[in-house]
Amino acid sequence: MNDPLGSLCSIGELARRTGLTVKAIRFYSDRGIVPPTGRSPAGYRLYGADALARLDLVRTLRELGVGLPDIRKVVARELSLSEVAAAHADALAVQIRTLRLRHAVLTAVARRDSDPEEMDLMHRLARLSEDERRRLIDDFLDSVFTGSAGSAGSGAFVGIRRSLTPELPDNPEPEQIAAWVELAELSQDGEFRALVRRLVEHLAAEQEGARGGGPRPGLVPTVRELVGPVLAAGIEPGDGAAAPVVEALLAHDVHVLTRLEAVNDPRRERYTELLAVINGWPAPESVAPVLDWAVEALRVREPVGGVPGAPDVPSRP
């Protein structure tokens, strides 16, 4: 005798086959996701073979974070699996970015032994949207360039500004996120802003050829060219053999010591390092050794005529 209900199984049997609890299956059943095919004479729910396939799909989608409303639409064929997968892939991308940001903040806090106030600042910086990040950097660069001698459309200033602008990619690596958080924090330092402003004005003056009607060699390349050989030769800044280098530096700019002290600020070099990481540029070569040598050599020379760092030689006419 054929039993029309013989191919059906109870909710308990369905639970054993799927590994889900009876309570979970009843929950999905009540919401129309896995409806019963029929009822036993005693009124108990009975499920067909398609219930096994539906429950396998439901479990997979739930593990991927898909919500019940979307699951109901998928099993009812109101949405295709590809549509749901695409939507949730986008959502997961946002979650991954958020987790990367949180990881960057926690890593920075652990390394720097940050206090609660600094941790809160880093956390807020990490959560900024792309537009908010751009506004924050624009505010920093505006404070550096606005009102400067060449800020009104100067080609030199436009190029310098572009070279100082961080561009965090759409899918940044963890180290790029960590670098962004540190750079953003550094950009809020008022003393650092003033320092960068001075450096930008000096650099623009060199590029614009402010003296003599023609372009001047850059200060840092000049220092590297002059100091590199004597540093490699092991000549100490206070040696007599350092005097020609000091004279050559002063010939470049009588205020060279003041400028070099600004260029040699560790925060400037750190900014360039972070900028390279964020923008995916090659790591910049450190100029700290030649700058340290030049600054010390200028300081140990006896001042003449009230000019700090001038060598102990007769002043040139």
Span 259-264, mean pLDDT? Answer: 93
> pTM here?
0.62
Q: What is the mean pLDDT of the chain?
A: 82
For residues 167 and 179, give the distance between their C-alpha atoms in angstroms, rounded to a whole number: 11
Give the whole-angstrom CA distance, residue 225 versus residue 95.
49
Q: Are 202 and 256 in contact (CB under 8 A)?
A: no
Quick check: 221 pLDDT over 70?
yes
Q: Hey, what are 168's tokens?
A: 């965090």
The dihedral over CA atoms of 36, 41, 44, 50, expressed in degrees to the nearest 10, equals -30
Higher pLDDT, 190 or 304: 190
Contact 28, 22 (CB under 8 A): no
Q: What is the CA radius of gyration of the chain?
A: 34
Read off the pLDDT of residues 284-309 as tens digits, 9 standing for 90 and up. Answer: 999 999 999 999 999 998 554 444 44
Cα separation, 140 vs 125, whole angstroms = 14
Of the candidate ranges 68-72, 122-126, 304-308, the one whose mean pLDDT is the lowest: 304-308
Highest mean pLDDT (candidates 78-87, 276-285, 303-312): 276-285
